[in-house]
Structure 1
Amino acid sequence: MSAKTNAQITDLRSALDLLRTVQGQLIETDEPVDPQAELAGVYRHVGAGGTVQRPTRIGPAMSFNNIKGHAGAKVVTGLLASRERVALMLGTKPERLGFLLNEAVKEPIAPITIPRERALCQAVVHYATEPGFDIRALIPAPTNTAEDAGPYITLGMCYASDPETGESDVTIHRLCLQSKDEMSMWITPGARHIGSFFKTAEDAGKPLPISISIGVDPAIAVGSCFEPPTTPLGFDELSVAGAIRKQAVEMVQCLTINERAIANAEYVIEGELLPGVRMREDFHSNTGKAMPEFPGYSGPAAPELPVIKVKAVTHRCNPIMQTCIGPSEEHVTMAGIPTEASILQMVEKAMPGRLLNVYAHAAGGGKYMAVLQFKKSMPSDEGRQRQAALLAFSAFSELKHVILVDEDVDPFDSNDVLWALNTRYQGDIDTIFIPGVRCHPLDPSQTADYNPMIRDRGISCKVIFDCTVPFPLKAHFQRAKFMEVDPRRYAPELFKKE
């Protein structure tokens, strides 16, 4: 895709317009679909991928244009559920996405505020004080399964500011619609900037204003998923999207709270995180489950979560709801590409030129597993590959497993990685265990019930699988060399000229 086309993507609608021009990237249906479990059940077969239970696959994005109970509403899912599709929308190659995000973090462009009369997201306004106001009727939020705690907003760009410093940040959180004007909000302990902002406000006995923008430029969704230390507290990840697009993200002042929202979002929810108020996540369903999460299991319903009191919902004319299946390839993309960028940045600083690429593998939901392609060029490089793995754990604290491969192994090809595991790895000498390290609480194996040695939920044994050839033996592990040819002469329909 040309740079010119890339620059023309400014919102969800322009991204969909681009996908309509590329065969196999978007399908649309007018068939009536129930947002409660049925919609996700359909997309599981069409293109969910990720850690979704098989049968599933990576396929096109999908627009459902006839949502039961929501006349005139549309729901789009799977926009980011393909590495190739994301690369298309961000104007790069799939294997270069981590590098693109790394470059964007280094040269951020801060968001700007535009006048309200130019903000498409405020074309239609619904105040919570109006008779009949009900967020569940206004927003066609789906459930992934029949056991979910309720309808979830899974791709809401949550934006808030530190009450003391005024520094702002955007992150994605699990948001369950609990009543006509209340939502519960999952905040991973110690891992989200907004959690820090809320603690500051709550300690002072004050609510925290927060906006949730739904249906945005894919660059915003991907850029918002960076975590410390790559983007420290006070770093506004909207500036990453600005750098990707070479132009600032446009914001607008909210109508009912002292906060901003993304000006061309499809929907915006304005509200406040209430101090001292908590709610059981499955208050209505009583299933004990929240929704399917990236490890592939339904996450347990939290016994108490912070509550957002909704003040208003604004939206564009004929708004499009964007959603995500929890364990799908879409999560892999959003979490994994910033993870790759973070690892590339940290290792490159420590040992320039040796780490060739990184893939945050789909089997780990973009968080638990990374494949590092490492090049040893001299005898003293032996052992540095394991140092790179340690740096990867430092770059992304939720990482659980690192697989190291040589420069002749494609880190994005699981068969090639497993080939290296089978021919360049001996378990007793090439496995490095790092027990007792904090990881991510959604891994169901990280409990004392599973392993009595685990002291607290979310603590794990991190593992390095070194599938690289020892430097002195590299000459003995040369892959069979085939003749170099131009396959386009023989199968032009398969090998189009770039």
Structure 2
Amino acid sequence: MPLDLRDYISKLETELPDQLLRIKKEVNPAEFEATAILQHLENNDQYPTVIFENNVNVNGDKSEFSSIINVFASRERCALAMNMDVSAKDLPLSLEYAAREKTMIEPTVISREEAPVKQTVKIEDEVDLSEYPIIRFHEMDPAPYLDVTAFVKDPDGGFYNGAFQRTMYKGKRKLGLHMSPRHNWQIARKYEERNEPTPIIIVVGHHPSFYLGSLNVSPFGNDDYAKIGSIMGESLRLVPSETWGDQFMVPADAEMIIEGEIVPNHREVEGPFGEFPGTYGPQRVRWVINVRAVTHRKDAIFQSIFTGHRETWILGAIPKEGTLFNRIKGVVPTTRSVHLPLSSVGRFHCYISIDKKVDGESKQAALIALGECDFVKHVVVVDSDIDPFKEEQVMWAMATRVQADHDVDIIKNVKGNTLDPSQLDDIMGAKMIIDATKPVSRLFSQRIKVPDSVMNRISLQHFLEE
């Protein structure tokens, strides 16, 4: 059976039942009730996947759809999504992602009759987005929002590109769209320069490995459907869209697909929206999507991402860790691991561990990270005796192996992220490299340690037994 969201939920119930919470009482997601429940859980240091079985839709009427959120709020659940052993003490998720990313598994096309996402088809005036349990996340959000993966297709190269992009509910067949200046934005510009609408789809619900694959940091021009297949470990099944036929293929095993067109040379007010840094992305004049069709399973599960919280941070971090590991290791072969910690919302800080052999390698590794991912602001490079996934060790290395005037570099006027609240400019910012590695060319104080021979001989369990 092909991977889908239902397959994952079944696996979660079997292997990590304590990490799944079902809410049976009625919830109104458009009035902050779903996120209020999630915030209460978070305040208690609880981050389960939550299924809301009884929703109210945007109109305030009883919805026929259940909903799911917070799927990615633990690395353990992401490991489960990638079919890894969740009982293992260490979960080398980024290394597993890096290994899978090196391959491409081409998608498979199936018929409409075979595709679960085609069980219900609504075209043009049949579409009414207010029928769905779309979430209004945070206090200043002016409307409910979809915040899942959107795909566009390059008109020249014919490749598909996916990105997580917020879309604001504006009416039965209308969405507002924010795009940062990356790949989807580049593709939309091509259509707009030709005064043509940009075909776009929004995938509302799929297997978690699908979304992990869609957030890869591949070079522009790579086909994301093939890359998603590599992360899922199987060929992604596709089916012709309702609006553009086989000129635009869509994921066949999704819960729901929204098909639309970005209107060329037209902008409207969008936002503010509670974004991934845990702050509001400001209100701006942004693009508009005219929705052309919606297809879904008869009992579709409406998936959302808890933006600005742990779910967004982990979901964003793992693909970047894997991609950056591959890029950096290609130049600095002794790279051990890469981590984008929760403390930096899974994006702004990057910790790189290398087994340095030559002075200068640490800054070389850092520059690659900054060049490959514009989210990253501050890079800390540590030696291989430091675990970058243990932040206390990284801070220790900074405290004992760094002199600011010698080991810190600041690079000004670099493209950053439009949602970084600290930037003085909408897009330009500064980057920082901290070299927290020991020098190779001179002696440096060694870390204290108990002799390995004694550590191996002494069994803690033996001495704790009565």
TM-score, reference length from structure 1: 0.85
Contact 2:199 2:262 in 1 (8 A): yes
Q: Residues 88, 127 of structure 1: CA spacing in aligned structure 2 closer, same or farther, 3 A cutoff?
A: same
1:179 to 171, 179, 193: 171
CA distances 1:311-339 after superposition (whole Å, capped 9, x unpaired): 12111121111111211222222221221
For 1:41 and 1:488, the matched residues in 2 are separated by: 44
Q: Give how far 1:486 is off.
A: 5.8
Q: Give how far 1:473 is off.
A: 3.6
Q: In structure 2, what is the equivalent of residue 355 of structure 1?
A: 335
Are 1:11 and 2:12 matched, yes or no? Answer: no
Q: Residues 203, 488 of structure 1: CA spacing in aligned structure 2 closer, same or farther, 3 A cutoff?
A: farther
Q: In structure 1, what is the equivalent of residue 259 of structure 2?
A: 270
SS in 2 for 1:145: coil
For 1:248 and 1:466, the matched residues in 2 are separated by: 41
CA distances 1:287-314 after superposition (whole Å, capped 9, x unpaired): xx2x211111011122x21111111211
For 2:158 and 2:134, the matched residues in 1 are separated by: 31
CA distances 1:396-424 after superposition (whole Å, capped 9, x unpaired): 12210011222222211122222222233
Pairwise CA RMSD: 2.2
Q: Give how far 1:488 is off.
A: 7.2
SS in 2 for 1:149: coil
Q: In structure 2, what is the equivalent of residue 235 of structure 1?
A: 222
For 1:249 and 1:225, the matched residues in 2 are separated by: 15
For 2:409 and 2:449, the matched residues in 1 are separated by: 26
SS in 1 for 2:293: strand
Aligned pair count reads 449
Contact 1:58 1:82 in 2 (8 A): no
Letter in 1 for 2:344: G
1:433 to 410, 427, 441: 410
Are 1:327 and 2:320 matched, yes or no? Answer: no
Q: Give how far 1:391 is off.
A: 1.5
Q: Residues 224, 44 of structure 1: CA spacing in aligned structure 2 closer, same or farther, 3 A cutoff?
A: same
Q: In structure 2, what is the equivalent of residue 149 of structure 1?
A: 142
SS in 1 for 2:17: coil
For 1:216 and 1:490, the matched residues in 2 are separated by: 50
Q: Give how far 1:58 is off.
A: 5.6
Q: Give how far 1:142 is off.
A: 0.2
Contact 1:222 1:333 in 2 (8 A): no
For 2:150 and 2:420, the matched residues in 1 are separated by: 24
Farther off after superposition, 176-185 or 333-342: 333-342
For 1:439 and 1:480, the matched residues in 2 are separated by: 44
Are 1:446 and 2:423 matched, yes or no? Answer: yes
CA distances 1:7-55 after superposition (whole Å, capped 9, x unpaired): x6701111111111123221111122220212112112325xxxxxxx4
For 2:433 and 2:46, the matched residues in 1 are separated by: 28
Q: In structure 2, what is the equivalent of residue 463 of structure 1?
A: 432
Q: In structure 2, what is the equivalent of residue 44 of structure 1?
A: 39
2:291 to 299, 302, 310: 310
Q: In structure 1, what is the equivalent of residue 370 of structure 2?
A: 393
For 1:407 and 1:487, the matched residues in 2 are separated by: 26
SS in 2 for 1:16: helix
For 1:196 and 1:459, the matched residues in 2 are separated by: 18
Q: In structure 2, what is the equivalent of residue 65 of structure 1?
A: 53
Contact 2:109 2:237 in 1 (8 A): yes
Q: Residues 423, 116 of structure 1: CA spacing in aligned structure 2 closer, same or farther, 3 A cutoff?
A: same
2:386 to 395, 402, 409: 409
Contact 1:212 1:261 in 2 (8 A): no
Are 1:33 and 2:23 matched, yes or no? Answer: no
Q: Residues 481, 394 of structure 1: CA spacing in aligned structure 2 closer, same or farther, 3 A cutoff?
A: farther
Query: Mapping of 1:332-343 within 5 angstroms?
Result: 332-343=313-324
For 1:315 and 1:266, the matched residues in 2 are separated by: 6
Contact 1:342 1:396 in 2 (8 A): no
Are 1:246 and 2:233 matched, yes or no? Answer: yes
Q: Residues 427, 237 of structure 1: CA spacing in aligned structure 2 closer, same or farther, 3 A cutoff?
A: same
Q: Residues 188, 488 of structure 1: CA spacing in aligned structure 2 closer, same or farther, 3 A cutoff?
A: farther
For 2:391 and 2:464, the matched residues in 1 are separated by: 25
Letter in 2 for 1:249: L
For 2:105 and 2:190, the matched residues in 1 are separated by: 27
SS in 2 for 1:126: strand
For 1:386 and 1:72, the matched residues in 2 are separated by: 54
**Tell me, which stretches of 5 or more residues in structure 2 are unaligned?**
none
Letter in 2 for 1:359: H
Contact 1:70 1:140 in 2 (8 A): no
Contact 1:270 1:312 in 2 (8 A): yes
CA distances 1:275-297 after superposition (whole Å, capped 9, x unpaired): 12211114xxxxxx2x2111110
Q: Give how far 1:96 is off.
A: 2.2
Q: Give how far 1:444 is off.
A: 1.5
SS in 2 for 1:33: coil
Q: In structure 2, what is the equivalent of residue 260 of structure 1?
A: 249
Contact 2:160 2:225 in 1 (8 A): no
For 2:431 and 2:449, the matched residues in 1 are separated by: 30
Q: Give how far 1:481 is off.
A: 5.2
Q: What is the percent sequence identity of the aligned residues?
A: 29
For 1:226 and 1:250, the matched residues in 2 are separated by: 19
Letter in 2 for 1:125: V
Contact 2:213 2:232 in 1 (8 A): no
Q: In structure 2, what is the equivalent of residue 299 of structure 1?
A: 281
**Tell me, which stretches of 5 or more residues in structure 1 are unaligned?**
1-7, 48-54, 283-288, 448-455, 493-498
Letter in 1 for 2:317: G
